[in-house]
Structure 1
Amino acid sequence: MKTDKLLLIDDDTELGELLVEFLASEGFSLELAHSGEAGLAKLAESRYDLVLLDVMMPGMSGLDVLKALRGNNTVPVLMLTAKGDELDKVLGLELGADDYLPKPYSHRELLARIRALLRRVEMDHSKPGPAVQPVLSLGRVTLDTRVYKAMVEKQDLELTQTEFKVLQTLMERAGQVVTKNELYQTVLGRPLEPYDRSIDMHVSNVRKKMIMLAEDCRPIKTLRGVGYQFIAD
Structure 2
Amino acid sequence: MHNKILIVEDDIAISEMVKNYLIKDGFLVKTAFDGEEAILKYLNYDFDLIILDLMMPKLDGIETMKIIREKSSVPILIMSAKDSDVDKAIGLGLGADDYIAKPFSMIEFSARIKAAIRRSTKYSNNEKKEDPMVMKVGNLTIDVGNFLVSKNNQAIALTSKEFDILKLFIQNPNRVFTKVQIYSFIWKDEYFGDENVINVHIRRLREKIEEDPSNPQYIKTLWGIGYKLEVI
Give TM-score, length-normalised by structure 2: 0.88
Residue 79 of structure 1 aligns to a residue whose secondary structure is strand
Aligned pairs, number: 232
Task: Note if 1:186 corresponds to 2:185.
Answer: yes
Cα distance change of structure 1 residues 146 and 195 upon mapping to structure 2, 3 Å threshold? closer
Query: Cα offset for 1:168?
Result: 1.5
The match for 1:75 is 74
The residue that corresponds to 1:24 in the other structure is 23
Are residues 1:95 and 2:97 paired?
Answer: no
Question: Do the aligned partners of residues 92 and 133 (structure 1) sit closer, same or farther apart at CA in structure 2, a change above 3 Å counting?
Answer: same
Deviates more, 1:145-154 or 1:33-42: 145-154
2:115 corresponds to: 116
Aligned partners of 1:83 and 1:104 also within 8 Å: no
Q: Does 1:14 align with 2:9?
A: no
Deviation (angstroms), 1:111 = 0.8
**Secondary structure in 1 aligned to 2:57?**
coil
CA change 1:132–1:177 in 2 (3 A) is: farther
- CA-atom RMSD in angstroms: 2.7
1:91 counterpart letter in structure 2: I
Q: Which secondary structure does the structure 1 equivalent of 2:88 belong to?
A: helix
The CA distance in 2 between the partners of 1:212 and 1:138, in whole Å, is: 14
Give the % identical residues.
Answer: 31
Cα 1:150–1:33 shift into 2, 3 Å: same
CA distance in 2, matches of 1:215, 1:158: 20
**2 CA distance for matches of 1:151 and 1:215?**
20
Q: Deviation of residue 107 (structure 1)?
A: 1.0
Cα gap change, 1:214 to 1:72, in 2 (>3 Å): farther
Structure 2 gaps, min length 5:
none
Report what 2:205 is aligned to. Answer: 206
What do residues 4-61 of structure 1 show as CA deviations (whole Å, max 9, x unaligned)? 2111111122222232222122222121111011111122222221111111223321
Equivalent position of 1:223 in the other structure:
222
Gapped runs of 5+ residues in structure 1? Answer: none
Report the Cα distance in structure 1 between the residues aligned to 2:146 and 2:130, rounded to whole angstroms.
Answer: 18
Deviates most, 77-86 or 8-17: 77-86
Paired residue secondary structure (1:100): strand
2:162 is matched with 163
Quote the Cα distance in structure 2 between the aligned partners of 1:67 and 1:212. Answer: 25
Q: Extract structure 1 runs of 4+ deviating beyond 4 A.
A: 128-133, 212-217
Could you tell me the TM-score, scaled by structure 1's length? 0.88
Moved more, 142-151 or 98-107: 142-151
Query: Closer, same or farther in 2 for the Cα pair 1:174/1:113, shift >3 Å?
Result: same
Asked if structure 2 preserves the Cα contact closer than 8 Å seen for 1:120 and 1:186, the reply is no
**Residue 5 of structure 1 corresponds to which residue in structure 2?**
4
